[in-house]
Structure 1
Amino acid sequence: MVGTGALAGCFGDSGGASETAPGSDGEMIMKTASETTAAYSMSQVISSAVSQNSDVKVDARPSQGTNRNVSEVVQGKTEIAYVQNWTANKIRQGEKPFGDLAYQPNQVFHLYDLAWFLATANDGWTSVTDITADSNVSPTPRGAGTAEMLEYALDFAVDDYNRTSVSYGDQAGAMSEGRLDVGAATYVNLSIEPGWLQQMKSTVDLRVLNWPEEIVSELEDDPAIVVSDIDMSQFDDYGYTPETLSTPTLAYNFIVREDHDYDTLKSFLETLWEQRKGLQEQTGLLAPMANGDSWVKHAYTGIPFHPAAADFYEEKGLWSDEFERGTAQ
């Protein structure tokens, strides 16, 4: 299981939350990430599959990051949204910006893993240690939960840099214009390049920045960071890549509020399960969901599963005694 709080005082405020249980009207807003991301395209496929094959209506919408996702779920503005283990750990620990929550987030299912890395179009750069105090660096846009993790990791290797914020789809243009020295990129499930990364490679001579071995060792010893080793021979058309890239990785799981309507969530999961093998026809990114084990992969320690999800996984033979069941509302 992946080690995973409560949200800042402002998150504990109802902030316009509905007084009825989320999903009680049979409708669910789903949020993942911004419009140019693989996660958003995956959420569109999921929402369509459920909406077309059940009475549950799911509306996939763009998100402003996983921190915002948590606040919107707690406030009842979004019924289901994904977070990653970095954010989940802060929720469990009650760290800022996660203080006393008005409602407890409950887990639902695992979507995917993302290996995050830093890249540049600057000639000769091969390592994150090439970053200087004058370098313009966007370790994902501000507000994204991933940004906090990458900024934290960078502190192990770099003394200072100019923190800027560029959306994923705009990074290539910013590099071409000299406004961005280093941007963030990712491999879905450690092997698939999202469309915006492919666009970056076709626009600039993109170079993958490695982490020095001594820094990797420090990151691996830190309980807040998960490091993956990726064989870079599977990827083409980069200006530079190391033979093996060791880089921080995040596991993304969906959460709902603890009082989310049981029947609606159970119907959502049952319908998605029935449609799971056909999801890959819309996008290969969802192919792992055909394997039931992937639904509970990297469950977060200390964050319970919603009772509807717990019952669902028990019925499918996927429940583990290591998992925690949420309190029924």
Structure 2
Amino acid sequence: MMKTGTDGNMTESNTSQSNDSSSQTSRREYIQGAAAAGTIGITGLAGCLDVLQVDSEDEWSLGTSSEGSSSFQIGSTWTEYMDSEDLLDTEIEPIVTEGTGASYRRLDQGEFEISGTTTQLLEDSPDEGDFEDEPLEDFDSIRQVRGYMAFYNFGVYNAEEVSGWDDLEDRPIAISSAGSGTRSPVEWLVDQEIGMDNIDNRYMAFADIPAALRDGTVDAAFTWTVNEDDPTGWLQEIDETVDWEPLEFSDSTIQSLDEDLAYSTYHELDEETVGEFSDNWSDPVDSFTLTYLYVVKEDADPDLVYDIAEMTHEHGEDLLDQNGAMDFFPDPDMFLGTLHPDVPFHQGAYEYYQNAGFWDDYDLTPPPEEQ
């Protein structure tokens, strides 16, 4: 589980320690069995893109998220730094997408060489949750590289209109943007507390949510801080323009977050942390974590993936100087300790973490060829 240190950063792994061991075993067996059976490859769905075969010396594309999002800002920061310092043999271009969930699906279809995703989406892969109606085509070749941030998600409501969960039945709630990686875990939480069928759920651009809360288009919404105490710009707008209060989590929801989910854990944002990002609320806030990470396909160039893992870590402090949202980059307890325990790492990243002496500190899955 994540813990927070005196500097407000997560300092200890592992979000998955409370996970059901049978779930871990079955996922590991699934991936190992698929690899052994030679099932790696694109099966193809109507309308999907062909796989791009890109050599290491060519430009890679990084699927990020919507413009202005934390995923896009972080992706732009490290790729531009790598290019300006000539640290990688291949230029990596950050691409604006419909959301992190959409980026992950587009990587699966072969449109990107590297993409952001979340621990929750890895948990649902290949055919549960968002992927139930249209399963991922090539999940057995998906490989983890490193984490890049965590969201501390929480709900807010307009205190001039409603007074918490009890008033939100049949009322409009902004869940997330449709393609965001936050969508599924927020839906899970709302289902725990009130039931998704009992609300008027809305999906909208994050930048539109503050105005929607102000004018009554929605009565509640979900937002987050990045790496605990760094607010998004639109959270700051909510704090400045809306009389908001946080949605409290029930005891049963908190227990489920800590015991039943491999990809998340409950975290109370304490008064000091809340005071860092809010002028209008100073009490603790219930939140749940969601880790964002980079993935590639199994056949991605191992030398380049090794270099990405190495350079983003060794230049982590420089990246943090570039952008305060880069807390994950220098700290292996964050970029390794919060990842999904059961999805294999890419060979190149695995070799770097072995050589750097990090690998044995975490409960993670090596590439199938190393098992």
Q: Compute the TM-score of the two structures, normalised by the length of structure 2.
A: 0.78
Instruction: Report the equivalent of 2:304.
Output: 264
Change (3 A) 1:218 1:76: closer
1:74 is displaced (CA, Å) by 1.5
Instruction: Report the equivalent of 1:41.
Output: 73
Unaligned ranges ≥5, structure 2: 1-13, 32-41
Partners of 1:222 and 1:129 lie apart in 2 by 25
Does the 8 Å CA contact 1:205/1:238 hold for their aligned counterparts?
A: no
Instruction: Report the equivalent of 1:95.
Output: 128
Instruction: Report the equivalent of 1:61.
Output: 95
Which of 115, 124, 128 is the equivalent residue of 2:165? Answer: 128
Partners of 2:319 and 2:55 lie apart in 1 by 23
SS in 2 for 1:301: coil
Q: Does 1:117 align with 2:141?
A: no
1:234 is displaced (CA, Å) by 2.6
Deviates more, 1:316-325 or 1:251-260: 316-325
Instruction: Report the equivalent of 1:228.
Output: 267
Instruction: Report the equivalent of 1:75.
Output: 109
Does the 8 Å CA contact 1:56/1:267 hold for their aligned counterparts?
A: no
Change (3 A) 1:124 1:261: same
Partner letter of residue 284 of structure 2? T
Q: Does 1:324 align with 2:365?
A: yes
Does the 8 Å CA contact 1:36/1:169 hold for their aligned counterparts?
A: no
Partner letter of residue 43 of structure 1? G
Deviations 1:141-177 (CA, angstroms, capped at 9, x unpaired):
1232321111111112114110111211111111222
Instruction: Report the equivalent of 1:150.
Output: 186
1:125 is displaced (CA, Å) by 4.2
Which of 31, 49, 74 is the equivalent residue of 1:16? Answer: 49
Partner letter of residue 163 of structure 1? N
Does the 8 Å CA contact 2:143/2:344 hold for their aligned counterparts?
A: yes
Change (3 A) 1:292 1:156: closer
Deviations 1:276-322 (CA, angstroms, capped at 9, x unpaired):
21112221111342234433121212211000000111111111273
Partner letter of residue 266 of structure 1? Y
SS in 2 for 1:155: helix
Deviations 1:166-202 (CA, angstroms, capped at 9, x unpaired):
2111111112222121111101122221222112222
Unaligned ranges ≥5, structure 1: none
Change (3 A) 1:118 1:12: farther
Which of 221, 233, 236 is the equivalent residue of 1:195? Answer: 233
Partner letter of residue 156 of structure 2? A
Change (3 A) 1:212 1:102: closer
Change (3 A) 1:118 1:19: closer
Partners of 2:267 and 2:58 lie apart in 1 by 39
SS in 1 for 2:50: coil
Instruction: Report the equivalent of 2:221.
Output: 183
Does the 8 Å CA contact 1:118/1:139 hold for their aligned counterparts?
A: no
Deviates more, 1:304-313 or 1:269-278: 269-278
Alignment coverage as a number of residue pairs: 320
Pairing 1:164-313 to 2, within 5 Å after superposition:
164-223=202-261, 225-236=264-275, 237=278, 239-240=280-281, 243-313=283-353
Identity percentage of aligned residues: 19
Q: Compute the TM-score of the two structures, normalised by the length of structure 1.
A: 0.87
Does the 8 Å CA contact 1:119/1:182 hold for their aligned counterparts?
A: yes
Does the 8 Å CA contact 2:116/2:292 hold for their aligned counterparts?
A: yes
Deviations 1:90-139 (CA, angstroms, capped at 9, x unpaired):
126x4251636335210000112111111122327453343121x11111
Partners of 2:235 and 2:317 lie apart in 1 by 26
Partners of 1:162 and 1:229 lie apart in 2 by 27
Change (3 A) 1:49 1:205: same
- Alpha-carbon RMSD: 2.5
